[in-house]
Structure 1
């Protein structure tokens, strides 16, 4: 059948190229718009309500194919040479601080239990290098490790070297020489004008590798190797060893490091077919306002960078975003792909997911655990009693930080805390960490506003000062603060561990959310009237965005959970496991084999007997 639109319309105005639809008599301008009209594609013209289904489908497929081709071509030509090299989620990052038990807040003690025994997640955001052709002779292991350290931390200027996030490779790790005293030994007779010139490239020593680590850990530019001050520093150290020169660092060592990274990424890609993999999507806005999409591919052997794209022009175009993601899926391999982890819960992403799933029915979609837990905290934050307490706590911190004299009193009276406002890389948890600080320093805060030093300050006589005094002395405020912490700190601890742990999420997230809810229940002494509203807020986000059949299957297939006394095989777990089996393989023979092996796993028989031994539980992956 011909797909010419003129076969389905009549030219009624040759001068203005107007065509009349033969089915509904609507007049449109140009053949292209007539095709959109007949193909039922919204956005260009109103779809024809009378066109036969066969004609509509034929024209629709033709138009979408052309559009997909154009979008894919645009992305293939995408070049982002000015992208920022590293994402910074918080202006004032700080180290991850372990949280004290909720029960110790009023007493002021700090038993500091280890929450890592409950929550295990991974933060897999790493990048790979770009290809550069090797031209010089092979480098030895010492030189490669030095170069890897340089380029992994991206010390040199962005115009010379692309800054990369560190990625664990088979050769990465600590130096083979454990004695730090032998790492820095230089010649006494090194001349001021230049370093020793090498005619042949000898193996690099541990000292040279340690010099490289110094450069990259501190962010020192390669040009520093030419400075007189650096040469004087070397002269002051005893010993004799050569260091990598500026030209070596930016030349063949870099090329060899890139080649090694290419070999590493090739190895990772080769295992996808055996282990399966996940596509991780992360969206953010750079300093120029561009909306960027980072695409990583994760598998048990490691995570590699796949692509970075500027999606500003297609952010709200479902068809174009679908075409882009389908191309990414084709590059990874739909048979290799298990799930796509998204960064957003917007309706736009939901529409894209539905369209992609029509073509890729075996692929699961979920939203990142960290984003969903942030949504849970935001949900709790909107509750009236929680909002009220956080607002009062904010007014106290604003007052303290607005008056230098009050801030000095705080630091004098509360020596155990550096700041009342606790910084974090994760902005959404800062209000809760700050409130926790306040509760832990309750006694000291009250002493501040009862002290004679406070009464001598001018701000003590202001309305704001008096309101803060009243708040700090208000028993109901502290009771409300403790209530908020009981409901939120379990989620805060999980979110922190997601961003710091190196353990996989898929096999433990189901159990972790259950533990969070049980912890909240326990903190409220099992009084349903007090904890149920927090459970409902958590369940709303879990059911709508986070839960996936893969999480239920991971819970079932995690030996450390399955063979424990806490395992609970309810209908949700069984249905999730069955859903994964049916969707991931259509072969009934394979399905029967899986079911038979699951029974062996359930009974701990055969090879699965190893996984049921208590001593082995923590060492076996799901």
Structure 2
């Protein structure tokens, strides 16, 4: 962000935004650091670490889980706490049967201090109630995270609206009690400030028919309209006549529901701005995955690869991963990125 502020002086007509994936992940981590959530996450971590630390407990877990794992941290990149809690909650019944079994009792590790703590955690009704609460709070943000990180559609037009919806869902989960949700919303607002509420995000929210025609009060929000006018000025610098026309078009669009469908083809400048903004992505994760592929190919033992060969190898690997992902999605007939399918997301 500091670098972006410096570059704004040299490129005043460019917008600089942060990666939404990382920002949302920071939100989830920040909420997870609150005492009432941290205690639950720490207990879940302690249990999983204990299970995976001993081959006997690991074999016992896989027997009762039918060879399924609780976590797969080497695959999951973001929101690991949420996915771990979701996985534990999905397997709650089998885990409780496991720690109550004779095999667990006969295992020498179960008699240790950590083993007794693991047993107490799984049998605690209060722990599972807190796990359920954590999931209800994290899930709305996790859905936004998967939207921006999924790469299935341009997310700029939905990011701000989905984030506002997540805030409202968290309020409802906590029964609209301000004392319960105040700290959570403070973390969300702090992390989103200047990162997920910039002119591009607000203008995309305004131009997206999904939100505008559902709630036309958007046009009365001064922050949204100021953001839209800022985008017009930056997209059409030094052209004040066209800027004034675009301002008028924005006001008309905000005033009449049927205006766009009737006169939309007569405002090419506003059309171009809308297309440019609504077609933007909000995450750099795709680029980062590409960099990871480069790092995997260009190792110390392969440091003599020329640029053409390196690019070709990355091209093949990246496309192979995309094809594999598409095959999995088509085969299972489901969106593996949905929060309700946490195991598939892992």
The two structures share one fold, judged by TM-score above 0.5: yes
Q: Which structure 1 segments of 5+ residues have no match? A: 1-344, 612-619
Alpha-carbon separation, structure 2, partners of 1:566 and 1:389: 41
Q: CA deviation at 1:607?
A: 5.0
Alignment of 1:109-188 (within 5 A): none
| SS in structure 2 of the partner of residue 508 of structure 1 | helix
Q: CA deviation at 1:363?
A: 1.2
Q: 1:408 aligns with which of 59, 62, 66?
A: 59
Aligned residues of 1:420 and 1:434 also touching (Cα < 8 A): yes
Query: How many residues were matched structurally?
Result: 264
Q: Which structure 2 segments of 5+ residues have no match? A: 265-273, 279-346
Larger Rg: 1
- Which digits, 9 at most, give the CA deviation of each residue in 1:25-82, with x for residues without a partner? xxxxxxxxxxxxxxxxxxxxxxxxxxxxxxxxxxxxxxxxxxxxxxxxxxxxxxxxxx
Shift in CA distance, 443/592, structure 1 to aligned 2, threshold 3 Å = same
Q: 1:595 aligns with which of 218, 240, 247?
A: 247
CA RMSD of aligned residues (A): 2.4
Q: 1:390 aligns with which of 22, 33, 41?
A: 41
Shift in CA distance, 457/610, structure 1 to aligned 2, threshold 3 Å = farther
- Which digits, 9 at most, give the CA deviation of each residue in 1:317-363, with x for residues without a partner? xxxxxxxxxxxxxxxxxxxxxxxxxxxx4xxxx1x323322222111
1:608 aligns with 2:261: yes
Q: CA deviation at 1:426?
A: 4.3
1:515 aligns with 2:168: no
Alpha-carbon separation, structure 2, partners of 1:599 and 1:572: 14
- Which digits, 9 at most, give the CA deviation of each residue in 1:289-308, with x for residues without a partner? xxxxxxxxxxxxxxxxxxxx
| More helix as a share of residues | 2
Alpha-carbon separation, structure 2, partners of 1:594 and 1:380: 41
- Which digits, 9 at most, give the CA deviation of each residue in 1:387-417, with x for residues without a partner? 22111111100111122232233223233x7
Alpha-carbon separation, structure 1, partners of 2:65 and 2:176: 34
Q: CA deviation at 1:451?
A: 1.2
- Which digits, 9 at most, give the CA deviation of each residue in 1:140-182, with x for residues without a partner? xxxxxxxxxxxxxxxxxxxxxxxxxxxxxxxxxxxxxxxxxxx
Shift in CA distance, 596/580, structure 1 to aligned 2, threshold 3 Å = same
Give 2:85's aligned residue.
Answer: 435
Alpha-carbon separation, structure 2, partners of 1:566 and 1:482: 35
Alignment of 1:53-452 (within 5 A): 345=1, 350=2, 352-415=3-66, 418-423=68-73, 425-452=75-102
| More strand as a share of residues | 1
Give 2:226's aligned residue.
Answer: 575
- Larger RCO of the pair (alpha carbons < 8 Å, separation 6+): 2
Q: CA deviation at 1:566?
A: 7.6
Shift in CA distance, 459/566, structure 1 to aligned 2, threshold 3 Å = farther
Q: 1:466 aligns with which of 80, 96, 116?
A: 116
| TM-score, with structure 2 as normaliser | 0.69
